Chain A
Amino acid sequence: MTEIFWVRCPKCKGRFYCDTELRYAGVDLICPFCQTSFDVEKGLETRTAPH
């Protein structure tokens, strides 16, 4: 089962989620709504997957 975390795009404010492996992978995320690349820390939210 994949563990996820939610992010919010700093540019368009669109929300999407990522696998936890991306939390500290050192790569920029890509917003699916506006294609903006951004650092994880700048978009981090606190919601997680159900356990």
Chain B
Amino acid sequence: MPKDLGSFLTRIRREFPRELLDVKKPIRPHMWEVSALLKHLEDQGRFPITVFHNPKNLLDKDSAFPLVMNLFASRERCALALGLPPERSRLEMSLEFARREQRRVDPKVMSEDRAPVKEVIEKGARIDLRKFPIPRLHHMDLGCYTTMPCIMRDPDEGFYDVTFVKCMYKQPRRMVASIELPHLRRIFEKYEERKQPAPFVTILGHHPAFLLGSLALTEFGNDDYETIGSYLGEPVRLTPSETWGKDFLVPADAEIVIEGLLPPGVREICNPFGEVTGHYQPQWLMPVLDVKAVTYRENALFQGIFSGHLGHWILGTIPKEGSLFNALKKIYPHVTAVHLPVSGCGRFACYISVKKRREGVAKTLGMAALLNSPLLQWAVIVDDDIDVFKEREVVYALITCVNPARDVDVVENVFNLFTTALGHRKVIIDATRPLDVPFPERIKVPEAALARVKLEDFLT
């Protein structure tokens, strides 16, 4: 069976039922009710995959499309999506992610009549995006947004680029596509320079490994369908699109595919939108998507991300940790772990642990990390006895080991894509114990005693 979202949810229901919450009561996603429920769960420390079986659509009527949210709000579920056991969800998973980034699996093309996503086809006046349960998430959001990967094809070299892009509902056959990241923007600009409309596809739901694979840190020119196959562990099945046929292939096992054109030189207002920083992205102008075809499975699921919350942050964390660890290891082999904490939105801060043998290493690693991952704004380096996946330990190191006069470096006049109070600055904090001045040793329980005293012998 080819991998799809439905098969993944079936497995979770069967093997990990506590990881999934079925909501049967009607709910209005466009009136912030889905985000309200997810926020209530979050406040209780609960982050299950939440399937809303009876959402209302944008016309405030029953939608035929169940809404799936929060799928990525646990590293353990991401491990399952990649075919790993949940207990390998820390650095091991990130290193496996980085390994798969190097592999390619050729996609498989199948005819339209066998493609699940072509079970229902709508074109022209039959299209009405208001049938979907598109959520409005935060109080200042300008409208309802889809938050799933979008696909463009390079007009010169023919490779496909797949990247998460939010699209704001505007009219029954029109959206605004917030193309901010450089790869898709570059492809769009190539079409604009030729004064041609750019083909653009958004997929609303697929197996989570497909979505994780779309986040691989590949260079411009990479065919992302081939990379995503490496994450799925099988070829991505593709099928000709309705609008461009074999000239633009779309994922056959997606839940919903929206095909459209981005006309050159046309921009419309979008945002504010609650983004990954946990702040609103400002109102600005973005390209317009004129929708030409919508195809979907019978019983299709509509998938979304609760942006600016845990699932969104974890999505940023996993692709970067493994490649950053590998890059830092090349500079200093005694690096022991790297973690991008969700408290840093999974993008803006990294914790690096190192078995430090001489002074200066920590700051060197901090500079290397900031260069390797341009979104990073903070790099914190700790000793190898600090577990970077346990934030309490990292903060302990910050409180007890940092002398601000010598251990905090502010790098001025550098580019940060996202707005935070740092502005055009980045920060490196050396939270390792100094080697060049007398410094107290950290307490520890003797290893022999830990080995001798078994918890189960005393608690049963």
A-to-B contact residues, CB < 8 Å: 1-2, 4, 16-19, 21-22, 25, 27-30, 32-33, 49-51
Q: A18-B282, A18-B284, A27-B269 in contact; A32/B418 too (CB < 8 A)?
A: no
**Inter-chain contact B419/A30, CB cutoff 8 Å:** no
Which chain B residues lie closer than 8 Å to A50 at the CB level? 421, 423
**Inter-chain contact B424/A1, CB cutoff 8 Å:** yes
**Inter-chain contact B423/A51, CB cutoff 8 Å:** yes
Using CB atoms, name the residue of chain A closest to B417.
Answer: A1
Which chain A residues lie closer than 8 Å to B281 at the CB level? 2
Determine the distance from Cα of A1 to Cα of B272 in the docked complex, in whole angstroms. 16
B191 interfacial by beta-carbon distance below 8 Å? no
* Chain A: minimal CB distance from B230 (Å): 34
Determine the distance from Cα of A1 to Cα of B277 in the docked complex, in whole angstroms. 12
Query: Quick one: which of A2, A21, A22 contacts B419, CB cutoff 8 A?
Result: A2
Which chain A residues lie closer than 8 Å to B140 at the CB level? 16, 32-33
Query: Quick one: which of B141, B269, B280, B417 contacts A17, CB cutoff 8 A?
Result: B280
CB<8 Å pairs between A and B, sample of 15: A1-B415, A1-B416, A1-B417, A1-B424, A16-B140, A16-B280, A17-B282, A19-B283, A19-B284, A22-B283, A25-B285, A28-B269, A29-B269, A32-B143, A49-B419
* Chain B: minimal CB distance from A19 (Å): 4
Which chain B residues lie closer than 8 Å to A19 at the CB level? 282-284
Given contacts A2-B282, A19-B283, list 14 more A-B pairs with CB under 8 A.
A1-B424, A4-B419, A17-B280, A17-B282, A19-B284, A22-B283, A22-B284, A25-B285, A29-B269, A29-B283, A30-B142, A32-B142, A32-B283, A51-B423
Which chain B residues lie closer than 8 Å to A16 at the CB level? 140, 272, 280, 283
Which chain A residues lie closer than 8 Å to B421 at the CB level? 50
Which chain A residues lie closer than 8 Å to B280 at the CB level? 16-17
B-to-A contact residues, CB < 8 Å: 140-143, 269, 272, 280-285, 415-419, 421, 423-424
Which chain B residues lie closer than 8 Å to A1 at the CB level? 415-419, 423-424
How many contacts between A and B, using CB within 8 angstroms? Answer: 54
Which chain B residues lie closer than 8 Å to A29 at the CB level? 269, 283
* Chain B: minimal CB distance from A23 (Å): 11
Which chain A residues lie closer than 8 Å to B419 at the CB level? 1-2, 4, 49
The binding surface of chain B is classed by DSSP as loop
Using CB atoms, name the residue of chain B closest to A19.
Answer: B284
**Inter-chain contact B285/A22, CB cutoff 8 Å:** yes
**Inter-chain contact A4/B423, CB cutoff 8 Å:** no
Which chain B residues lie closer than 8 Å to A30 at the CB level? 142, 269, 283
**Inter-chain contact B416/A4, CB cutoff 8 Å:** no
Determine the distance from Cα of A16 to Cα of B416 in the docked complex, in whole angstroms. 22
* Chain B: minimal CB distance from A37 (Å): 8
Using CB atoms, name the residue of chain B closest to A51.
Answer: B423
Which chain A residues lie closer than 8 Å to B269 at the CB level? 27-30
**Inter-chain contact A18/B283, CB cutoff 8 Å:** yes
Which chain A residues lie closer than 8 Å to B285 at the CB level? 21-22, 25, 27
Determine the distance from Cα of A49 to Cα of B283 in the docked complex, in whole angstroms. 14
Which chain B residues lie closer than 8 Å to A4 at the CB level? 282, 419
Determine the distance from Cα of A4 to Cα of B277 in the docked complex, in whole angstroms. 15
* Chain B: minimal CB distance from A43 (Å): 11
Which chain A residues lie closer than 8 Å to B423 at the CB level? 1, 49-51
Determine the distance from Cα of A40 to Cα of B310 in the docked complex, in whole angstroms. 35
Query: Quick one: which of A22, A25, A32 contacts B141, CB cutoff 8 A?
Result: A32
* Chain A: minimal CB distance from B369 (Å): 19
Determine the distance from Cα of A16 to Cα of B269 in the docked complex, in whole angstroms. 14
Using CB atoms, name the residue of chain B closest to A28.
Answer: B269
* Chain A: minimal CB distance from B138 (Å): 10
**Inter-chain contact B284/A17, CB cutoff 8 Å:** no
Using CB atoms, name the residue of chain B closest to A3.
Answer: B419
Determine the distance from Cα of A33 to Cα of B141 in the docked complex, in whole angstroms. 8
Which chain B residues lie closer than 8 Å to A33 at the CB level? 140
Which chain B residues lie closer than 8 Å to A21 at the CB level? 284-285
Which chain B residues lie closer than 8 Å to A18 at the CB level? 282-284
Which chain B residues lie closer than 8 Å to A17 at the CB level? 272, 280, 282-283
Which chain B residues lie closer than 8 Å to A22 at the CB level? 283-285
**Inter-chain contact A32/B284, CB cutoff 8 Å:** no
Using CB atoms, name the residue of chain B closest to A37.
Answer: B269
